Structure 1
Amino acid sequence: MSFTRPTGKHRRPSRAVRVGANVAGIATLTAAGVVAGVAAPAFAASDDSQRPEDTGLSQAVVIGDVMAGNVDAQAETQRGIADEANARQQAEANAKRLAAEAKQRAEEAQRKLDEERAAKERAARDAERKRLGTFVSPIEGSYVSTSYKASSNLWSSGSHTGIDFHAETGTSVRAVGMGTIVEAGWGGAYGNNVVIQMADGTYTQYGHLSSIDVSVGQSVTPGQQIGLSGATGNVTGPHLHFEARTAPTYGSDIDPVAYLASHGVNV
């Protein structure tokens, strides 16, 4: 008695066939991108003995989800890094801009300060030049009590070689202008006297002083005290004898009133 191999629908497909069908189904899923579209007969089989791992579908879906999650997380991380870098660059740019603006303001403020300082210095120099170039009366607020060339036997020349300013003993006597002391001490009939070579080359003399506050070679400025008035030498009472000269020696006198007036001082 011979047996023939069963054929037809009653025979279960082999494992190799089933696996091949599963792989084909997964490929269809991947190509179509729709899991719900998988309807291959291989997955419709209702064989209870078929294990889940035989199809590989669950593994493919899980792996796909995990990979997609990893990609999303990586993309989010990269976006965060990029945003942080952009924010840092923006902050650095803002800081540089603010620093540049602050520097510009500081430089502008310094420039204004320098200009103001330079203007003040120029004004001070101009004021000092003006002060040094001006003349003052040898005794502030006084008046001429004896005029130039007045005649009297009190003077050896027969006439007054200077002018006398009314002054009590101890009154401040001032240099009429800028100059250098060329004589400071006893002057015979002039008593204690000071002679100054002026900046313009002329000379001025101050006689009958009670005390002297300067020394030879010293520079003086307009209005600087050079001594105190008195009654030393050939006098009849305290006063200041003032002369203007073309040379430091006696006999080179010029009109002191006109001399002072030429320098803006009226007495």
Structure 2
Amino acid sequence: MAFTRTAGKHRRPTRAPRTTRSNANIAGIATLAASGVVAGFAAPALAATDDPRGFEDTGLRQAVAMDDQLAGQVEAQAESQQSAAEEAAAKAQAEAQARKDAARQAAETKRKAEAAAKKAKQEREAKERAAREAERKRLNTFVSPITGSYLSTGYQASSGLWSSGSHTGVDFHASSGTSVHSVGSGTVVEAGWGGAYGNNIVIKMNDGTYTQYGHLSSIGVSVGQTVTPGQQIGLSGATGNVTGPHLHFEARTSPDYGSDIDPVAYLRSHGVNI
């Protein structure tokens, strides 16, 4: 007996029903796609379908596309983070180098300042030593009691004008009011009237000898005062036992009359050329 196929509702559908996949299946397929396995897996599945287009829409394309987009975003984010890290590292390195340069510059500036201060100190000390040496030399030098003068009467010259019968000093030619200087450094031990010497000054010199300046018209120092070479101590005149204005100068071993020594030899021994 022959059976015939009923047309219509008992006919097998030409398209397989679409299967709904869960998000977990899609994620699994995406994972397989990323590992390269999905290529071999998908081909048979697509080949088995009798979809008129040649494959069944399983959602794989969408999963792969989403995975590619996510991978791109992750890669872009990674590159951005790497770039930011590199920029931060470069900035940190630049800042560290700047700190090193600043520290080196500060050290160099400090070194230069210290060197300049040391040099200035050395120069100052050298100037001070030179000044002290110059002052020491100045204080140890001797000068003529009257600048540019000459001797009008020599030492131990004989005459009835002197009570001892001879000249106990030398006379320097000078008109009244001529500046009279200390011949060296010392301390004034007498300043006032000296009898036949008129207004006179006696100075104890730093080397222990004494010098006397007589017949002054005025006195400019006082007892106890220290004097230096070339310092003005009075003015020449004609006070006391004189025949005219001049300066009577003596060199002595003591402040007392009668201890006189040759004043020319005395001055020359101290570098004074007369």
Normalising by structure 1, we get a TM-score of 0.86
1:28, 1:38 within 8 Å by CA — same for their partners in 2? no
**Corresponding residue number in structure 2 for 1:246:** 253
The yes-or-no answer on 1:27 pairing with 2:34 is: no
Kindly state the Cα deviation for residue 6 of structure 1 after the two structures are TM-superposed: 10
For residue 213 of structure 1, what is the aligned residue in structure 2?
Answer: 220
Partner AA of 1:26 in structure 2 = A
Question: CA 1:55–1:40 in 2, change beyond 3 Å: closer, same or farther?
Answer: same
Structure 1 counterpart SS, 2:30: helix
Q: Deviations over 1:105-133 (max 9, x none)?
A: 22222322222222222111111111110
Q: Secondary structure at 1:121's aligned position in 2?
A: helix
Instruction: Single out whichever of 210-219 and 48-57 deviates more from structure 2.
Output: 48-57
Q: Secondary structure of the equivalent of 1:185?
A: strand
Cα distance in 1 between the residues matched to 2:62 and 2:186: 122
Which region of structure 1 is more displaced relative to structure 2, 148-157 or 173-182?
148-157
Equivalent residue for 2:20, pick from 15, 22, 26: 15
SS in 2 for 1:56: helix
Distance 1:75 1:137 in 2: 95
1:90 and 2:97 aligned: yes
Corresponding position: 1:115 with 2:119: no
Q: In 2, distance between residues paired with 1:190 and 1:19?
A: 139
**Counterpart code for 2:135:** E
Q: Tell me whether 1:229 sits opposite 2:236 in the alignment.
A: yes
Q: 1:75 to 1:43 in 2, by over 3 A?
A: farther
Q: Which runs of 5+ in 1 are unaligned?
A: none
2: CA distance, partners of 1:122 / 1:17: 104
Q: What is the number of equivalent residue pairs in this alignment?
A: 260
Q: Is the Cα–Cα contact under 8 Å of residues 52 and 58 in structure 1 kept in the other structure?
A: no
Residue 99 (structure 1) shift: 2.1
Paired residue type of 1:108? A
The 5 A counterparts of 1:191-206 are 191-206=198-213
Contact preservation (8 Å) 1:19, 1:55 = no
Equivalent position amino acid for 2:237 in 1: G
Taking the aligned partners of 2:69 and 2:191, their CA distance within structure 1 comes to 118
Contact (CA 8 Å) 2:33, 2:64: kept in 1 or not?
no
Q: Which runs of 5+ in 2 are unaligned?
A: 1-9
* Change in CA separation of 1:154 and 1:57 when aligned onto 2, cut-off 3 Å: same
Q: Following TM superposition, by how much is the alpha carbon of 1:254 offset from its aligned partner in structure 2, in angstroms?
A: 1.0
SS of 1:211 mapped into structure 2: strand
The amino acid across from 2:197 in the alignment is Y
Deviation at 1:58, TM superposition (A): 2.9
Tell me which residue corresponds to 2:6: none
> Is the Cα contact below 8 Å between 2:181 and 2:232 reproduced in 1?
yes
Q: CA deviation at 1:244?
A: 0.6
In angstroms, what is the RMSD of aligned CA positions? 3.0
1:209–1:66 Cα change, 3 Å: same
